[in-house]
Amino acid sequence: DTSVMTSKAIDERINRPTQFIHIQHSSFRDNISTDEHFIPWHSVTENTGGTNENIPFIAPYNGKLKELIYRTSTNTSNATATWRLYSVSDKGEGYSSSASVLDTQTCTGPTNDGAESDNSVKVTFDSDAVFNAGDILALSIQHAPAHSTTNTKFIITTTCEYDISGLGQ
């Protein structure tokens, strides 16, 4: 390639963003009771075991789970929700034997009182929720005490920040 870049193209290359935000949507329906449930990234089928292929994803870049926001179709405000971000070994043998918890956050479950008001809960993760490109990641929720019904819908949106400073180099 013998083309010469314009000054504008050079400026855009030098001053390009080094980070970007990725938003991932997930949802499922279940009575999670007090069992830990892994959030499905690729379907609407959550799982209490970590070997389901719909649960993990591979981080494309170094990054951090910044926050999540979620709602439920029933009132879960009497439960404490514990959220865990896992990094799974490359073997992919299952989360219980080959995973390490990167970060844990707790919150009170959303209030759904039948009114049309916003019953969303926002969970902010801290500096422990960092991961490397190529890490296999999974996210779970666990209630204590049990507080949901068979038809409780969980609607979750997660926000990750990726470092793309080395992209294309």
CB 130 within 8 A of CB 64: yes
Please give the structure tokens belonging to residue 118: 């916003």
**Looking at per-residue confidence, does 52 or 59 come out higher?**
59
For residue 130, the model assigns a pLDDT of 95
User: Residue 116's pLDDT is what?
Assistant: 62
Distance CA 29, CA 138 (A): 18
Task: Calculate the average pLDDT of the chain.
Answer: 83
Mean pLDDT of 49-71: 84
Q: What is the pLDDT of residues 14-25, one digit of tens each?
A: 666 788 899 999
CA distance 22 to 169: 21
CB-CB contact of 158 with 74 (8 Å):
no
Task: Say if CB 41 and CB 137 are below 8 A apart.
Answer: no
pLDDT for 26-53, tens place per residue?
Answer: 988 888 888 898 888 776 666 666 556 6
Q: Which residues of 67-102 are buried (b: 16+ CB within 10 A; e: fewer)?
A: bbbbbbbbbbeebebebbbbbbeeeeeebeebbeeb
> Which amino acid is it at 40?
P
Residues 89-94, mean pLDDT to the nearest whole number: 56
Q: What is the model's pLDDT at position 117?
A: 66
pLDDT band at 82; cut points 50, 70, 90 = very high
